[in-house]
Every structure is written in C-alpha cells, then in structure tokens.
C-alpha cells in the first residue's frame, strides 16, 4: 500500500494556500470602475505603451473613449476569472483524459497496462472535484459575475445577428443543462469502473472485469460525443462568431497527451520511491511512445485546422488565428515548440523512451506547452490584448496543482497499487517491448 508522505502533503497544501492568497489579491486588485481604467489607460499612454489599454483613437471622442474604457474594464475584470478558468480546465481535462485512456485499455483488452491501472484510477479521482469547479465557474458566468462568455450578455446579443442565430443552442439554461449531463455521465462511469476494479481484486472469477469491459465500451461512445460538445460549449463558444469542425478532436488530443504524460510522471515518481516494482522500462517506453505519438497527432490536427482556415480565407474564421498570431505571438508559437518540436527531437529515439529523466523532462515541457494551448484558446477571447502571465495565472496554477496533487496521491493510498486479480496482470508484469 502506498503511504502519502507528510512532505508531499505539506507541499501540496502550501501550493494551495499560496495560490489562494494570490487569487484573492488578483480578484481584489482588478479595476471596478471606468474611471480606474481611464487612469490605467492614461498611465500607459504616458509611458508610450501600446497595449489594449492604450488605444490612441479612444481620446478622440468622449463617447468612444467611454465605450473603449468599458470594453477594457471587462477585459481586466475577466483576467483573474480567465486565469482561474484556464488552470481549472487544464487539470480537469487531465483527469478526463486519464479516464478515456483507462477505458481504452479495458475496451482493447490491453495486456501491457494493468500494472498501471491504479495510477490511472488515482488520476481520475480528480475528475469529480475538477469538473464541479469548472461547472461552478460556468454557473457564475451564467449569473453575469464575469464577461467571459459574451453570448451570455443580453446587450451584446441584442446587437449581434450572428449570435441571435445561435440562441436556440447558446442560451444559459440549456448550456448548464448540457454541462450537468456531461459531468454526471463522466463521473457515473468513473465511479462504477473504479468500483468494479476494486471488487475484481477480491473476486474468484472475471465477472467484474467483464463488466468493466462493457462499461468501457459504452463510456467511450458517450465520451466521444460529450467531449466534442463540451469543447464547443466550454471553449469554442468563447468566440461565438468562430467555429471549427476539427475542434473537438483538437481538444481531445490535448487532454489525451497531458493525461498520459501525468500517468508517466506519477509512475516514475512512485518507482523512485520504491513502489511499483512490477513496472519495467518497457512500460515507461510505451507511455513515452504514446506521449510521442499523440504529440504528433496533436500537431497534425493543429496544422490541419490552421491550413484549412488559412486556405479558405473566410473573414469570420481567419480572425481567430490573426488575433492569436498578432497579439499572442510568443505563447502561440511557443506552444508549437513545446508540443511538437521538443517531443519530436527528444522522444523519436526509442532508447530515450526508456530513460526516466528524458521522459520526465519531456513530460514537463509537454504539460507547459498544453497549458499554453489552453491559454491560447481562452485568453484572446476573454481578455484580448490585456494579457500577460502574472499573479492571477501563476496563482491559479499553484492552487490547482496543489489540489490535484493532494487528491491524486491521497487516492493512491486507498487501494493496493497493483490490480491483483486482473486477468491480464501476469502478462503485464512480464511485458517486454
């Protein structure tokens, strides 16, 4: 049985406390009036800074200046909300991706992976609290406590025929009902998959394994539909004029590779502490192989989405990439280096996939890169040019990282680290690539 060390527990709590203090400061320091924003604009103009808060045209006309200041006010007020949403969604999607990867192992009757099942189950333990936090943010958005989803603002909808045409789908009650269906479905499947896995340890036959096989097949059908719809609702609707038919797959690749990366990092950590002796270099190799393969798949989807939009050159579509290339140049191109070029160069060699520190180094880079990916999806739509990675972003990541570590490693203490009665456990222990 794994025992949660007091050092790790204390570190997680410290991360949460420091992150919570930073978030409280970020929300408290956000401007609350147009006058405050005008002072910020004047201060930036006085220093010659050309940001969203320094628009030269805003001074030509008082009415225009007020309108511009109100727009910037909403962006600056959105900043702590958006930073919280980015971090909350990032860790939530890791848990959801881990559940999908876990279900795939059952549905495929994979023989290599059962020694890793308890690690996968521990990562999915974050799914319930993580999804509820995201749902709370969505509910608060629906209550107009922030301006992240502009289609929720009646004043915006009143003057926007494009959003008016989507009101049958993009309306707050239906939006929250859909979100509740996704979250309930994912967590119900997770609950029974975990329950049957633990029961199989004490069973005298394979009936609980067979139940999980059927459950996994059903979950994957439910997942592929709800994950796509979730990506439209929770991310793509932040830019309600824009759409991409590839977006569900694109987000899937991101959540899938981050989940596999976290599974690999936790496995390597546990082995370094003397746990999971049955896990050998071939298991690490296969996890790293998935990290490499899904990174290439993510790049393929990113480039396909970009190329189709660039080639068609439809104004409603290209504005999505123009905004990110012009205003988010560093994180936009930086994530390509982190998510594609670095994993390609490091993990293309089969031998390197067996070297733990290579896998850890690449895993950390992949996680940073996909945080930037989520950052690029959300921030341009919610804060525009008024962005920088500061107190809200760092504090949110610290808080949710601490919460994630606390929940996941506490879940590891609840059951033996090896699924003893899994019918493929012997094959998994002797797996060699």
The whole-angstrom distance between residue 284's C-alpha and the CA centroid of its chain comes to 23
In whole angstroms, give the CA distance from residue 388 to residue 51. 11
Number of other CB atoms surrounding residue 154 within 10 Å: 8
Can you read off the two tokens belonging to residue 424?
């493929």
What pLDDT does residue 65 have? 64
Can you read off the two tokens belonging to residue 134?
């995201």
- Let me know: does 347 contact 275? Beta carbons within 8 Å: no
Angle at 36 between CA 34 and CA 38, to 5 degrees: 70
Can you read off the two tokens belonging to residue 34?
């147009």
In whole angstroms, give the CA distance from residue 342 to residue 293. 13
**Residues 6+ positions from 346 with CB-CB distance below 8 Å:** 352, 358, 361, 362
Place of tokens 């909403």: 74
pLDDT, block means (10 residues), the chain with 433 residues: 93 97 93 73 58 43 66 83 97 98 96 96 97 97 92 91 93 97 98 96 93 97 96 95 92 97 97 94 95 96 92 87 92 93 90 91 96 95 86 96 97 93 93 87
Place of tokens 């994993």: 343
257, 230, 219: which is closest to 97 by C-alpha?
Answer: 257
In whole angstroms, give the CA distance from residue 55 to residue 38. 11
220, 138, 226, 130: which is closest to 182 by C-alpha?
Answer: 226
Q: How is residue 52 annotated by DSSP?
A: T
Q: Given its phi and psi angles, is residue 48 left (phi above 0), alpha (psi -120 to 50 degrees) or beta?
A: left
What pLDDT does residue 52 have? 43
Q: Residues 275, 279, 283, 284: is their CA dihedral positive or negative?
A: positive
Summarised one tens digit per residue, pLDDT across range 86-126 is: 999 999 999 999 999 999 999 999 999 999 999 999 999 99
What pLDDT does residue 411 have? 97
> pTM higher than 0.85, yes or no?
yes
């Amino acid at each position: 049985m794994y025992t949660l060390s007091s050092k790790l527990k204390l570190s997680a709590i410290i991360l949460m406390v420091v992150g919570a203090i930073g978030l409280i400061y970020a929300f408290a320091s956000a401007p609350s009036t147009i006058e405050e924003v005008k002072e910020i604009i004047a201060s930036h103009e006085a220093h010659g800074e050309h940001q969203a808060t320094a628009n030269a045209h805003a001074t030509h006309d008082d009415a225009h200046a007020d309108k511009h200041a109100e727009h910037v006010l909403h962006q600056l007020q959105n900043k702590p909300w958006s930073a919280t949403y980015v971090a909350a969604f990032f860790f939530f999607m890791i848990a959801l991706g881990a559940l999908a990867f876990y279900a795939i192992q059952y549905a495929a009757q994979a023989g290599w992976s059962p020694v890793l099942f308890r690690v996968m189950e521990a990562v999915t333990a974050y799914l319930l609290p993580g999804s509820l936090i995201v749902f709370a943010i969505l509910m608060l958005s629906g209550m107009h406590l922030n301006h992240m989803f502009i289609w929720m603002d009646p004043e915006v909808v009143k003057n926007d025929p494009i959003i008016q045409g989507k009101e049958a789908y993009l309306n707050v009650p239906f939006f929250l009902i859909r979100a509740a269906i996704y979250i309930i479905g994912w967590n119900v499947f997770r609950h029974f998959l975990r329950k049957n896995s633990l029961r199989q340890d004490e069973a005298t036959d394979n009936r609980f394994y067979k139940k999980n096989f059927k459950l996994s097949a059903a979950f994957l059908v439910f997942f592929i539909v709800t994950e796509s719809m979730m990506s439209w609702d929770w991310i793509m609707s932040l830019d309600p004029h824009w759409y991409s038919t590839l977006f569900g797959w694109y987000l899937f690749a991101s959540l899938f590779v981050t989940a596999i990366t976290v599974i690999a990092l936790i496995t390597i950590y546990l082995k370094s502490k003397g746990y999971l002796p049955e896990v050998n270099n071939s298991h690490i190799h296969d996890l790293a192989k998935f990290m490499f393969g899904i990174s290439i798949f993510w790049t393929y989807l990113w480039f396909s989405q970009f190329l189709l939009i660039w080639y068609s050159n439809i104004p409603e579509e290209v504005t999505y990439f123009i905004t990110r290339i012009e205003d988010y140049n560093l994180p936009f191109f930086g994530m390509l280096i982190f998510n594609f070029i670095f994993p390609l160069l490091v993990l293309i060699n089969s031998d390197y996939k067996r070297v733990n520190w290579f896998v850890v180094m690449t895993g950390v880079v992949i996680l940073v890169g996909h945080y930037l990916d989520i950052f690029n999806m959300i921030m341009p739509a919610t804060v525009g040019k008024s962005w920088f990675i500061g107190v809200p972003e760092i504090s949110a990541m610290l808080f949710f990282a601490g919460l994630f570590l606390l929940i996941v490693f506490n879940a590891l203490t609840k059951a033996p680290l090896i699924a003893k009665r899994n019918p493929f456990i012997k094959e998994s222990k002797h797996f060699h690539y």
